C-alpha cells in the first residue's frame, strides 16, 4: 500500500508541478480541469447515478468549465503584456466577486446544515439536488483555483499549502492528544484537539509565509500578505476560518461516502482512493479565500 501511495504521488507531481510552473496558466488550468471532471464522475457514482450518466456528468463538467474559461478567462492567461487593453487578473477578480461571496456563504451555511443532519439525512435530499450541489461546488472550486493561478503561483500555493498544513497538523495533534471526538458518526478519527492543532499550524504557516514574502521577490503576493494589508487580526481570523472550513469540506465528503457505503470516492488513484478524497478540503476553502479578500477589500 505504501509503495502504491508513493508511486501515485510521484506520478501526480510529475504532471502537476510542470503545469503549475509553466509560464502560461492555461497549462495548469487544463490539467486540473481533467481532475475536476474525474471528481464529477465520482460524485455521480457516490449518489447512485447510473454509470453512463455519471460519465456524462464528468464530460459535462469538462466541457462546461472549459467553455467558461475559454469565453471569459482565457484572454487573461494568453494575453501578451504588449497587448493594450487586455484584462488584468485584478479586473477578473472584481468581475467574479459576487460568485466568490455567494459560494463562500453557501459553504458556511450548507456545510453546517449537512453536518447537523448527519449521514442519515443525506439520502433524504432529492437526488437531483445532491447532484447539482456537488457539480456546483466542483465547478466553483475549479474556477477559484484558475483565478488564483492567474493572480500568481505564490498566491495559489499559499491557498493550497494552508489546507495541506492544517490537515497534517490536525492528524498529528489528533493522533497524539485527541480525546474529544469531533463527529464520531461521520469520521470517528477526527477530534476537536486535532482541529485546534490544525488551526495553530495554519497560523504559524501564515506568519512564516508572510515573512518569506519580504525576503524574496515572488511572482505575486501570498494570501497572507494580502490579508495583512487590512490588518494582522484579519489575517489571523481568516486563516482560522479557512482551516476550519477545510475540515467541513473533509467531513462533508466523508458523510456522503458513509451514506453510499463507500470507503473511497473511487480507485482512480491507487493507494489514495479517488480525486474527491484528495480535494475535498479544497472545495470550500478556494472560493472562500477569494470571498474573504473581496469582503476585506484587498
Enter the pTM of the model: 0.90
Question: Which of 248, 257, 232 minimizes the C-alpha distance to 287?
Answer: 248
The angle, 0 to 180 degrees and rounded to 10, between the axes of the packed helices 51-68 and 127-151 is 30
CB 103 within 8 A of CB 284: no
Eight-state DSSP code of residue 152: -
Distance (Å, rounded) from C-alpha 265 to C-alpha 39? 8
pLDDT for 161-170, tens place per residue? Answer: 999 999 999 9
DSSP 122: G
Nearest Cα to 283, choosing from 258, 256, 260?
256
Angstrom CA distances, 5 to 42, 68, 188, 268, stand at 19, 34, 23, 12
**What are the backbone dihedrals phi and psi of residue 262, each rounded to the nearest 5 degrees, phi first?**
-115, 145
Express each pLDDT in 204-223 by its tens digit: 999 999 999 999 878 899 99
**In the predicted structure, residue 297 carries a pLDDT above the cut 60:** yes
| 199 conformational bin, left if phi > 0, alpha if psi -120 to 50, beta if neither | alpha
pLDDT at 98: 85
DSSP state of 124: G
CA 11/CA 199 separation, integer angstroms:
30
Helices (H), 122-231: 127-151, 153-177, 192-215, 223-228
Q: What is the C-alpha separation between 290 and 296, in angstroms, rounded?
A: 10
Mean pLDDT of the chain: 88
Q: Measured between alpha carbons, how far is 9 from 5 in angstroms, rounded to an integer?
A: 6
Tell me, what's the pLDDT at 80?
37
Residues 282 and 141: beta-carbon distance below 8 Å = yes
Q: Give me the mean pLDDT over the 127-154 stretch.
A: 93
pLDDT score at 221: 93
Q: Please, are residues 105 and 239 in contact by the beta-carbon 8 Å criterion?
A: no
Q: pLDDT tens digits for 57-99? A: 999 999 988 887 776 654 444 333 333 344 555 555 566 788 8
Amino acid at each position: 500500500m505504501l509503495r502504491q501511495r508513493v508511486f501515485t504521488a510521484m506520478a501526480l507531481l510529475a504532471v502537476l508541478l510542470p503545469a503549475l510552473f509553466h509560464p502560461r496558466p492555461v497549462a495548469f488550468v487544463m490539467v486540473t480541469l481533467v481532475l475536476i471532471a474525474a471528481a464529477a464522475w465520482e460524485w455521480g457514482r457516490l449518489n447512485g447515478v447510473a454509470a453512463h450518466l455519471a460519465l456524462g456528468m464528468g464530460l459535462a463538467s469538462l466541457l462546461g468549465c472549459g467553455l467558461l474559461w475559454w469565453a471569459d478567462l482565457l484572454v487573461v492567461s494568453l494575453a501578451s503584456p504588449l497587448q493594450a487593453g487586455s484584462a488584468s487578473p485584478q479586473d477578473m477578480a472584481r468581475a467574479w466577486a459576487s460568485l466568490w461571496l455567494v459560494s463562500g456563504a453557501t459553504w458556511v451555511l450548507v456545510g453546517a446544515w449537512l453536518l447537523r443532519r448527519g449521514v442519515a439525512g443525506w439520502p433524504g435530499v432529492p437526488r437531483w439536488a445532491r447532484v447539482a450541489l456537488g457539480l456546483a461546488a466542483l465547478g466553483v472550486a475549479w474556477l477559484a483555483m484558475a483565478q488564483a493561478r492567474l493572480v500568481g503561483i505564490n498566491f495559489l500555493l499559499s491557498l493550497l499549502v494552508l489546507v495541506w498544513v492544517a490537515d497534517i497538523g490536525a492528524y498529528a495533534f489528533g493522533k497524539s492528544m485527541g480525546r474529544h471526538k469531533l463527529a464520531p458518526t461521520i469520521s470517528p478519527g477526527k477530534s476537536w484537539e486535532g482541529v485546534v492543532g490544525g488551526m495553530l499550524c495554519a497560523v504559524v504557516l501564515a506568519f512564516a509565509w508572510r515573512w518569506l514574502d519580504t525576503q524574496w521577490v515572488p511572482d505575486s503576493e501570498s494570501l497572507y500578505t494580502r490579508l495583512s494589508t487590512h490588518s494582522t487580526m484579519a489575517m489571523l481570523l481568516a486563516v482560522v476560518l479557512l482551516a476550519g472550513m477545510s475540515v467541513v469540506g473533509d467531513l462533508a465528503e466523508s458523510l456522503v461516502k458513509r451514506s453510499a457505503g463507500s470507503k473511497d470516492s473511487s480507485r482512480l488513484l491507487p493507494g489514495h482512493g479517488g480525486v474527491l478524497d484528495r480535494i475535498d478540503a479544497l472545495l470550500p476553502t478556494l472560493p472562500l479565500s477569494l470571498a474573504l479578500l473581496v469582503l476585506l477589500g484587498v
